[in-house]
Amino acid sequence: MTVEEVRDPDERSRIAREILAGLPEWFGLEAANEAYVRDVATLPTWTVRGEGFLSLKRHGERAAEVYVMGVRRDRHRRGIGSALLDAAEEWAVANGITMLHVKTLGPSRPSRGYDSTRRFYEARGFVPLEETIAFWGEDNPALILAKPLRSGLTVLPLLGWPEVSEGDDLAELVAASAELEDDDVVVLAQKVVSKAEGRVARLDDLEPSERARELAGDEDPRRIEAILQESVRIVRSRPPLLIAETRQGFICASAGVDSSNAPEAGMIVLLPLDPDGSAAGVRERLLALTGRTVGVVVTDSFGRPWRAGTTDVALGVAGIRPLLDLAGRRDRAGYELRHTQIAVADEIAGAAELVMGKLDGVPGAVLRGLDLAGEGTAQELVISPERDLFR
């Protein structure tokens, strides 16, 4: 389906006249139709040839109204209205508009046609503001709906989760706490993934080795034993701090073994054995539950050399490219950015952390407005030992 912007004023009016004439259920007043036909001549207008049209009316700098829209009766429910609205929204964003609104017949006067019109707008993110008789009188109550337009990124916390236990269906919990859209990226803290997968241990069940006792200093040697079991190598140690390379290839404090937010005192949480697999599993199950194709990122808080504090990074990804490769792309002066790869999965993890907090039981977030759908694993984020200057 092709949406075209109509630039000729006469053509705008001609298209509006033709389409509106075929929609008496919505546009039954001759005088009102003539006003639309006249007005659209001066308005930004888009059409799918022979099938439908939409005209926007700008109000001031930042707002525009869907002034009139019509799609041929026998072509409804085929995505024509959505395509017209997408084109109008793209134009609006490019022109600095931050809010769209529309007026349509309100629900207090039932009408099958307008009921479906309101459903159309609500499904596309318009929020009903108010029904009022101010515009068209008591017989035709008007409903004003408005929709904020985004040109950037939105990060929404996942709220209202219960404590997660082994066997819980994380995708079901995500679906219950977020209205997902295609191309959303769902971020889940490693802690809830590990708990759902039963990757927890009881300190009482751990028998410290000789080496664990040596490294422990004043610390609990059972915890050090867990770290050693999760590690292939200790990278640095200064008790109580142990920096280890985990069996998944990550280099981080305590090999990711953590006592905070454990199911109960005396327990510890370990990293998922295969965080890319965890992410892929949640992604697949979300598709089955919601019909939405999303990316999934499993994250944890890591320290870094030289810089204070932790930032969240990606341990597992599915459905997104974790590295954005700019090789071959050129700057304004023609200089090739040949060495530049951006670790977008780690930046996604950090952005999610900003809304997740640590103690409020927020287990993840949804990022909307990225364009990173693709294939990849978080293992791509691990520098191979032979290329690494710092191992």
Which residues in the 87-146 window bind its own copies by CB under 8 A? 98-99, 101, 127-132, 134-135, 144, 146
Supply angle C-alpha 322, 324, 329, rounded to 5. 170
For the segment 309-328, give every residue that binds its own copies (CB under 8 A): 309-313, 322-324, 326
The piece of 4-12, 113-121, 214-222, 380-388 that touches its own copies (CB under 8 A) is 380-388
Q: Which is nearer to its own copies, 47 or 377 (CB)?
A: 377
Residue 242 · residue 252 · CB < 8 Å: no
| One of 35, 236, 239, 374 touching its own copies (CB under 8 A) | 236
Alpha carbon distance 345, 351 (integer Å):
10
Q: Which run of H or of E encompasses 231? A: strand 231-238
Alpha carbon distance 308, 288 (integer Å):
41
For the segment 337-366, give every residue that binds its own copies (CB under 8 A): 337, 340-344, 346-348, 350-351, 353-355, 358-359, 361, 365
Rounded to a whole number of angstroms, the minimum distance from the CB of residue 9 to its own copies is: 23
The piece of 9-17, 154-162, 278-286, 291-299 that touches its own copies (CB under 8 A) is 154-162
Binding of its own copies at residue 265 (CB under 8 A)? yes
Rounded to a whole number of angstroms, the minimum distance from the CB of residue 96 to its own copies is: 9
Local structure of 72: helix, strand or coil: coil
For the segment 21-60, give every residue that binds its own copies (CB under 8 A): 59-60
| φ, ψ for residue 94, nearest 5 deg | -65, -20
Binding of its own copies at residue 271 (CB under 8 A)? no
Alpha carbon distance 376, 183 (integer Å):
15
Alpha carbon distance 380, 259 (integer Å):
28
Q: Which is nearer to its own copies, 80 or 252 (CB)?
A: 252
Residue 70 · residue 19 · CB < 8 Å: yes
| One of 65, 183, 225, 300 touching its own copies (CB under 8 A) | 65
Residue 318 · residue 378 · CB < 8 Å: no
